[in-house]
Amino acid sequence: MAVVELKNVVKRYGGGLTGKAARSEEAPAVDDFNLVTEDGEFVVLVGPSGCGKSTTMRMIAGLEDNTEGEIRIGGRDVSDVAARDRDIAMVFQSYALYPHMSVFENMAFSLRLKKAPKSEIDQRVNEAASILDITHLLDRKPRALSGGQRQRVALGRAIVRQPQVFLMDEPLSNLDAKLRVDMRAEIVKLHRKLGVTTFYVTHDQTEAMTMGQRIVVMRDGRIQQIDTPNALYARPANMFVAGFIGTPSMNFMKMRVGDDTRSLKGETARFRAGDAFTGDLLDSHRGQEVWVGIRPEHLQHHEGDAGALENGLSGTVDVVEPLGSVTMVQLEIDGHRITAQLEGDTRARSGDTITLTCESARLHLFDVVSEQALARQPVESAATA
Amino acid sequence: MTSEVTAKGTGTAGSASGQGASRRRRAPVKRLMAPAVIFLLVWMIVPLGMTIYYSFQNYNLMMPMMRGFAGIGNYAILLTDATFWDALGNTLVLVVACLAVTVGLGLLLALLFNATFIGRGVARTLAISPFFVMPVVTGLIWKNMLFHPVYGLISWAMRSLGLEPIDWLAHHPMLSIIIMISWEWTPFALLILLTGLQSLPEDQIEAVRLDGANRWQEFRHIVIPHLGQVLYVVVMLESIFFLTSFAEIYATTSGGPGTATTNLPYYIYLNAFFQYDIGLSSAAAIGAVILANIFAIFLIRFVAGNLNAGSAR
């Protein structure tokens, strides 16, 4: 168990023997990564593929060198420490079990390398096996196991080590959907039981939201936001995070801030910004366009006269997807594609013109140029509204 | 009762029609396979049968009058012929030594060529090129350009170092043959072992590193078991080729000096084309077949037991 610190960590590829000259000109794979975990924290690194999340994890593991910056594990600078001396256990996407060893041997391997006494090896392997419920598989070879069982063995191999830090690199992505949900809960439980600082890499925002105590959202090698799941959802720092977190993803439409700095106007849509936004921020954008973000689940069907609405947008329904508990409706409003998650019994049909409304406290505003969030709503107002 | 009968009835009908269908399907298979089977029979069984037949005959081309059934006469001569036992010993030494050198050296080179360095592609091609040199040419190159006590490159090198040049083929004939054959076959081992190394998943190496293994443990516990099957193939194929080594010996030492480099194939050649004793050489050939089979069985057992059993996937 340990605190992991990353300070100004940069990873650049290229410049090596095989690297092409052009690659050294490329943007760094990881740029200025700063993070200090708490002891025993579960940190999720999430982002689209190629965002540098796996590279970051591999740098913590010592499988890649950091070009710049400092990595500390338990206070010790590990930049020059080899992977095998970092006391870190990693669960790989492919599980990377040793095919010629039985499950027991796989799990015991690291202890055998350390020349631990046989009784201790037996005890620790059996303990880990019983936690993961794989005691009956100990004699089998990995090839005789199902995907879910292999996953457990891979976890078991990590647990037996009793390492300072767990690293998990998309460990669930090779499992089928149902198993993935089960293992998700199991890993969270396991973490709670063992209390080991854990880094978890995924591209799946649902996994990130359900598992992480803190989530690091990355794009193009840069951290976009580090926050708790709820805060990421309620107060995304920029349009990327806003669009990435939450399913279905947030709707965006361009609107103009009115001269009264309180109203937002599109072609047909209009909002009153209300108290959720500080007047100053809108003041500075008086008369300018801003991106308005609305989560599909915050849109409501308004039956009745649209003209009287302060917050309203109407458009023609394109596609209706009834999912039972909810109905997803896609419509075209002022040239933007908008998805609304309406109640299950909504009787909208494609071709209909419907009016939607949204509480102003639920709106997210972003600068058109920088795409950074403009005015952050206080959590309370978002929660109580 | 009725239902049972019905079930039976349909069952028979079903299986009957199934049989008919499968017979119809199987018929052309046999006919299509026939040419290959006949070809194999003619190509392998007929010569083997003829060899067995001649091995029990008195048949020397120089003594056309002395024909007839010899019983185990040829085999008796063979077993009492000191040269045969020398040849057998030489064959075993040659096979085992060449296997050790080619596999050992091939593995080292494969590990080397698996790393990334500038000009790896060119270096790989060059390293593999000895394999494409014909055995006779190999023999002549080594005999005249490298081993030659006067004109050879090795002699020149030794002389430049102030050492006495060695007449390799005269004084270390078996070692020379082993060096030549190993030079020719190490690329083969390298090639196959390199493909084996390249199929080793990167994440297994990473996993074992994180598990705390050093380079040697990584090699011992992950790389070698992974290469198990590939090593098996290399050892199997090479031992069959080494058992039949002939051209290199023919082109250099001609089995000499004395019988120092006479292996089984060369012994058979000598008996057939110098003594013209077809009967005796046929008996020796049968001996070689038996040896090859013993070798194969031993190897399969040994390799399968030690390496293959664990790593089969």
CB contact under 8 Å between A90 and B207, yes or no, is: yes
Give a yes or no: residue B63 inside a domain.
no
Query: In the predicted model, is pLDDT for residue B21 greater than 70?
Result: no
A-chain residue closest to B311, CA distance: A100
What per-residue confidence (pLDDT) applies to B22?
A: 55
Q: Rg for chain A (alpha carbons), in Å?
A: 25
**Residue B206 forms contact with A (CB below 8 Å):** yes
Write out the two tokens for B175: 């070692």
What per-residue confidence (pLDDT) applies to A279?
A: 61
Domains of chain A: 4-239 (3.40.50.300), 248-384 (2.40.50.140)
Give a yes or no: residue B288 inside a domain.
yes
CB contact under 8 Å between A98 and B311, yes or no, is: no
Q: What is the mean pLDDT of residues B248-256?
A: 85
> Could you check whether the bond before residue A248 is cis, i.e. omega within 30 degrees of 0?
yes
Expressed as residue numbers, the domain containing B29 is: 2-43
Question: Cα(A159)–Cα(A153) distance, rounded to whole angstroms?
Answer: 10
DSSP three-state, residue A250: coil
Instruction: Tell me which chain A residues have a C-beta less than 8 angstroms from the C-beta of B208.
Output: 98, 109
The predicted-structure confidence for B222-249, as pLDDT tens digits, reads as follows 898 888 888 888 888 888 889 888 888 8
Q: Rg for chain B (alpha carbons), in Å?
A: 27
Give a yes or no: residue B209 inside a domain.
yes
**Residue A18 forms contact with B (CB below 8 Å):** yes
A-chain residue closest to B207, CA distance: A96
CB contact under 8 Å between A109 and B208, yes or no, is: yes
CB contact under 8 Å between A63 and B217, yes or no, is: no
Q: Are residues B260 and B199 in the same domain?
A: yes
How many structural domains is chain B composed of?
A: 2
Residues paired with A336 in a beta bridge: A333
Q: Are residues B28 and B177 in the same domain?
A: no
Write out the two tokens for B68: 């007839």
Chain A, 135-174: which have a CB under 8 Å from a chain B CB? 143, 157, 161
Instruction: Give the residues of chain A that fall short of pLDDT 70.
Output: 1, 14-26, 274-281, 306-308, 375-385
A-chain residue closest to B201, CA distance: A96
Q: Are residues B122 and B266 in the same domain?
A: yes
Instruction: Tell me which chain A residues have a C-beta less than 8 angstroms from the C-beta of B117.
Output: 17
In this structure, are strands A353-357 and A313-322 parallel, antiparallel, or unpaired?
antiparallel
Residue A236, amino acid: P
CB neighbours of A300 closer than 8 A, spacing ≥ 6? A342, A356, A357, A358
Smallest Cβ–Cβ distance between A100 and the set B201, B211, B225 belongs to B225
Q: What is the mean pLDDT of residues B59-82?
A: 82
DSSP three-state, residue A278: coil
Is residue A230 within 8 A of residue A312, CB to CB? The reply is no
Instruction: Tell me which chain A residues have a C-beta less than 8 angstroms from the C-beta of B116.
Output: 17-18
Which of A35, A67, A65, A31 has its CA nearest to residue A51? A31
The predicted-structure confidence for A197-215, as pLDDT tens digits, reads as follows 999 999 988 899 999 999 9
Q: Are residues B182 and B105 in the same domain?
A: yes
Residue B291, CA distances (Å) to A170, A323, B85, B242, B294 in order: 54, 74, 12, 12, 5
What per-residue confidence (pLDDT) applies to B152?
A: 85
Write out the two tokens for B39: 């070809």
What per-residue confidence (pLDDT) applies to A354?
A: 87
**Residue B231 forms contact with A (CB below 8 Å):** no
Q: Are residues B108 and B239 in the same domain?
A: yes
Q: Are residues B248 and B132 in the same domain?
A: yes
What per-residue confidence (pLDDT) applies to A379?
A: 42
CB contact under 8 Å between B116 and A157, yes or no, is: no
For residue B238, give the CATH number of its domain: 1.10.3720.10
Is residue B153 within 8 A of residue B147, CB to CB? The reply is no
Would you call B231 exposed, middle or buried from its count of C-beta atoms within 10 A (0-12, 13-18, 19+)? buried
What per-residue confidence (pLDDT) applies to A370?
A: 87
Q: Are residues B113 and B248 in the same domain?
A: yes
What per-residue confidence (pLDDT) applies to B189?
A: 92
CB contact under 8 Å between A83 and B210, yes or no, is: yes
Q: pLDDT confidence of B9, banded at 50, 70, 90? A: very low
Is residue B113 within 8 A of residue B125, CB to CB? The reply is no
Residue A60, amino acid: I
Q: Are residues B32 and B101 in the same domain?
A: no
What mean pLDDT, rounded, does chain B reach? 82
Q: Are residues B186 and B280 in the same domain?
A: yes
CB contact under 8 Å between A90 and B225, yes or no, is: no
Give a yes or no: residue B49 inside a domain.
no
The beta strands (E) that lie in A95-228 are given as 165-169, 197-202, 214-219, 222-227
Most B CBs within 10 Å, among A17, A86, A92, A100, to test the B interface = A100
Give a yes or no: residue B70 inside a domain.
no
Query: In the predicted model, is pLDDT for residue B15 greater than 50?
Result: no
What mean pLDDT, rounded, does chain A reach? 85
Question: Cα(A257)–Cα(A270) distance, rounded to whole angstroms?
Answer: 10
Query: In the predicted model, is pLDDT for residue B3 greater than 70?
Result: no
Q: Tokens 């059993």 belong to which residue? A: B309
CA angle B282, B284, B289 (to 5 degrees): 95
The predicted-structure confidence for B156-205, as pLDDT tens digits, reads as follows 888 889 888 888 888 888 998 999 999 999 999 999 999 999 888 888 88
Most A CBs within 10 Å, among B209, B211, B313, to test the A interface = B211
Q: Are residues B36 and B90 in the same domain?
A: no
Q: What is the mean pLDDT of residues B102-112?
A: 92
Q: What is the mean pLDDT of residues B144-148?
A: 86
What per-residue confidence (pLDDT) applies to B7?
A: 40
Smallest Cβ–Cβ distance between B203 and the set A82, A96, A113 belongs to A96
Give a yes or no: residue B59 inside a domain.
no
* CA-based nearest distance B109→chain A, Å: 20
Q: What is the mean pLDDT of residues B69-87?
A: 85
CB contact under 8 Å between A113 and B213, yes or no, is: yes
What per-residue confidence (pLDDT) applies to A306?
A: 66
**Residue B119 forms contact with A (CB below 8 Å):** no
**Residue A115 forms contact with B (CB below 8 Å):** no
B-chain residue closest to A144, CA distance: B313
